[in-house]
């Protein structure tokens, strides 16, 4: 673990990856509520494109065990799908999974994506681990990787306050520290615009089911707290998580 807590530190932590991949596998059959929104936004984009006979290319960068790609293939069989990750163990597991046969899996760095290669890129719970320089570089790389008119769809922390926050969380899962960045929608919009994106949209995510608080306080899994008006706020330990689906179009 470096003193700057680069996102690359997490993809080489095999103990963490083993637990995280096991967590991800549970959603291979039962799609996550947040992933349902990703499929809906992709469907809206494809309907607006009205493409016929054109095999559009979708990259899921930070694909982990490939469960999102599995659900995308079931819903959109005409899409050409690629999973990208830096974790060799995760990529090996995806390539060996017969359920993911026909999907390409490549070792790809979010900061160095191939140019003009994709029509859609999804980034699922990755950008919040990046500090300011990496975040700016990631958006530039994502813009470069998309063809003109392509869709970027990220699921990440984004809030409406004029406040930029960064935490280092030390826990049983991350004894050396996990970097968490809570960015404002205004900052994200400005950064996306500077990277060459238009039509930036934010969809705050409120999970439609109750999640129980873990019995073991050392287990930092998401749980929900009901408000008086019926909202379900998502917490990780003492931290409220402002999850949001962020979409933008290149050019």
CA–CA dist 188, 200 (Å, integer) = 9
* 2, part of any domain: no
* 1, part of any domain: no
* 171, part of any domain: yes
Tell me which of 27-36, 59-68, 107-116, 143-152 is least confident: 27-36
Mean pLDDT of all residues in 142-165: 98
Q: Report CA-CA distances (Å) from 202 to 135, 175, 185.
A: 17, 33, 8
* 238, part of any domain: yes
13 pLDDT above the threshold of 70: no
- Where helices occur in the chain by DSSP H, the ranges are 14-25, 33-49, 67-75, 88-96, 132-145, 185-194
Mean pLDDT across the chain = 90
* 237, part of any domain: yes
Tell me which of 9-18, 204-213, 236-245 is least confident: 9-18
Q: What is the pLDDT of residue 202?
A: 98
84 pLDDT above the threshold of 80: yes
Q: What is the pLDDT of residue 11?
A: 65
* Banded pLDDT at 176 (limits 50, 70, 90): confident
* 233, part of any domain: yes
The predicted model scores a pTM of: 0.92
CATH of the domain at 219: 3.40.50.150
Mean pLDDT of all residues in 98-110: 95
Q: What is the pLDDT of residue 12?
A: 64
1 pLDDT above the threshold of 50: no
Residue numbers of the domain that contains 132: 7-250
Residue 124: closest CA among 91, 87, 153: 153
Q: Report CA-CA distances (Å) from 110 to 14, 48, 123, 130, 135.
A: 19, 27, 9, 11, 10
The model's pLDDT over 49-80, given as tens digits with 9 standing for 90+, comes to 876 557 899 999 999 989 999 999 999 999 99
Mean pLDDT of all residues in 103-132: 96
**Number of domains forming the structure of the chain:** 1
Dihedral sign, CA of 182, 184, 188, 190?
negative
* 223, part of any domain: yes
* 161, part of any domain: yes
């Amino acid at each position: 673990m470096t003193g700057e807590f680069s996102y690359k530190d997490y993809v080489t932590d095999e103990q963490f990856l083993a637990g995280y991949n096991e967590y991800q596998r549970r959603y291979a059959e039962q799609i996550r509520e947040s992933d349902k929104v990703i499929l809906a936004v992709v469907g809206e984009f494809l309907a607006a494109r009205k493409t016929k006979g054109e095999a559009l290319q979708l990259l899921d960068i930070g694909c982990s065990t490939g469960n999102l790609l599995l659900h995308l293939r079931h819903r959109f069989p005409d899409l050409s799908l690629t999973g990208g990750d830096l974790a060799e163990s995760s990529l090996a597991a995806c390539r060996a999974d017969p359920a993911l046969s026909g999907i390409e899996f490549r070792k790809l760095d979010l900061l160095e994506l191939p140019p003009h290669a994709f029509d859609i890129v999804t980034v699922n719970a990755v950008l919040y681990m990046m500090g300011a320089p990496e975040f700016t570089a990631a958006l530039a790389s994502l813009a470069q990787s998309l063809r003109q008119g392509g869709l970027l769809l990220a699921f990440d922390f984004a809030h409406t306050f004029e406040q930029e926050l960064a935490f280092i969380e030390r826990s049983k899962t991350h004894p050396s520290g996990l970097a968490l960045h809570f960015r404002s929608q205004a900052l994200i919009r400005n950064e996306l615009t500077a990277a060459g994106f238009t039509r930036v949209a934010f969809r705050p995510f409120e999970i439609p089911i109750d999640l129980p608080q873990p019995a073991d306080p050392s287990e930092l899994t998401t749980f929900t707290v009901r408000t008086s008006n019926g909202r379900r706020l998502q917490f990780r330990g003492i931290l409220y998580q402002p999850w949001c689906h962020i979409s933008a179009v290149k050019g």
